[in-house]
Amino acid sequence: MRTITTQEITKAIKEMCIEANHTLSPDMKAVFQAASQKEESPLGKKILDQLEENLIIAGQDMIPICQDTGMAVVFIQLGQEVHIQGGSLTDAVNQGVREGYAEGYLRKSVVSDPIERVNTKDNTPAVIHYEVIEGEALHITVAPKGFGSENMSRVFMLKPADGIEGVKESILTAVKDAGPNACPPMVVGVGIGGTFEKCALMAKHALTRNLEEPSPVPYVRQLEEEMLEKINGLGIGPGGLGGTVTALAVNIETYPTHIAGLPVAVNICCHVNRHVNRML
């Protein structure tokens, strides 16, 4: 049994919110640079260069990469040997978000109710996904999610007969519909299988996976490569103003599903695909 205090968790979450909004992870930077080399449109190339410069300015001057500093999505993997001391874990996470968004000069974009729409003024609550795992570690991923791209995300409840071709078509449909709204070049997270909510959660989680690490499953890896090529063939390009780089990566997760179904979720993310990991 190991004890972790809620103060440690709050502090970590606070720092991670600030870090995620000012610097992208090394894998994001790497795919970005690779993309710049490949862009054929002069305007597209110009936009990619500006986005790279934007990243440098964000880190140096501590100005958020994007003004939409997102709704804080937090994945928590809690080892079952861990005892949390000092109050509620959920409260500790939300307190971290509250402090991070205040101290980091991040935008408060959360409303308390989807219909009444009053801003909570501290960007809480976060959307928290808990998983209990073996061991005595606490893994945290903070992934602030912007809504220009979130709004373009889709769930498709396909029939088993639609097969892999149906999956490909769903992904292309979502990306085409997203177009310039999702601030391309995009990162595309896909969940295939499970249930209605499971595939959506996998699609979100897929966005946090290292973009330079392909799926360990051979057919999924192939599908990721094929879809990236197909998406880049759509011509949408940086900013949606035409070009050969529409997506930076396609990350896919799969899960067993029911004999009667083939759920597919496509979570679209922009080039500001923020995710920071920490282990306590």
Partner 1 sequence: MEQHIQAPVTREKIENLKAGDYIYLSGTIYTARDAAHKRMQETLDQGKELPFSVKGNVIYYMGPSPARQGRPIGSAGPTTASRMDRYTPTLLDMGLGAMIGKGKRSQEVIDAIIRNKAVYFAAIGGAGAILSKCILSSEVIAYEDLGTEAIRRLEVKNLPVVVVIDSQGNNLYETAILEFCTGGNK
Q: Is 183 in the site for ligand SF4 (CB under 6 A)?
A: yes
Report in angstroms how near the CB of residue 232 gets to partner 1 at its nearest: 8
Q: What is the Cα–Cα distance from 237 to 241, expressed in whole angstroms?
A: 6
Residue with Cβ nearer ligand SF4 (174 or 192)? 174
Q: Among all residues, whose Cβ is closest to ligand SF4?
A: 146
Size of the site for partner 1 (CB under 8 A): 52
Q: Out of 204, 209, 271, 275, which residue is the one contacting partner 1 (CB under 8 A)?
A: 271
Cα-based angle 232, 265, 196 (whole degrees, multiple of 5): 175
Distances (CA, A) of 110 to 72, 73, 153, 194, 215: 9, 12, 19, 29, 33
Q: Out of 64, 96, 100, 193, which residue is the one contacting partner 1 (CB under 8 A)?
A: 64
Residues 24-63 that bind partner 1 (CB under 8 A): 40-41, 43-44, 47, 50-51, 53-55, 57-58, 61-63
SS3 readout for 159-225: CHHHHHHHHHHHHHHHHHHHHHHHCCCEEEEEEEEECHHHHHHHHHHHCCCCCCCCCCCHHHHHHHH
Nearest alpha-carbon partner for 156 in 257, 225, 228, 70:
257
Residue with Cβ nearer ligand SF4 (144 or 193)? 144
Q: Is 228 in the site for partner 1 (CB under 8 A)?
A: no
> What is the per-residue binding string for ligand SF4 in 64-83, x denoting contact by CB under 6 A?
--x-x---------------
Q: Is 149 in the site for ligand SF4 (CB under 6 A)?
A: yes
Give phi and psi for 65, each to the nearest 5: -50, -45
Helix 89-103, helix 6-22: angle, nearest 10:
40
Question: Binding partner of residue 54 among ligand SF4, partner 1, none, CB under 5 to 8 Å per kind?
Answer: partner 1
Q: Maximum Cα–Cα distance for the chain, whole Å?
A: 58
Report in angstroms how near the CB of residue 253 gets to partner 1 at its nearest: 24
Report in angstroms how near the CB of residue 66 gets to ligand SF4 at its nearest: 3
Q: What is the Cα–Cα distance from 146 to 163, expressed in whole angstroms?
A: 31
Find out whether 7 and 95 touch, Cβ atoms under 8 Å. Answer: no
Torsional sign, CA 175, 181, 182, 186: positive
Q: Is 189 in the site for partner 1 (CB under 8 A)?
A: no
Residues that bind partner 1 (CB under 8 A): 40-41, 43-44, 47, 50-51, 53-55, 57-58, 61-69, 105-109, 117, 119, 121, 146, 148, 151, 172, 179-181, 183, 230, 233-237, 239-244, 270-272
Residues that bind ligand SF4 (CB under 6 A): 66, 68, 146, 148-149, 182-183, 270, 272
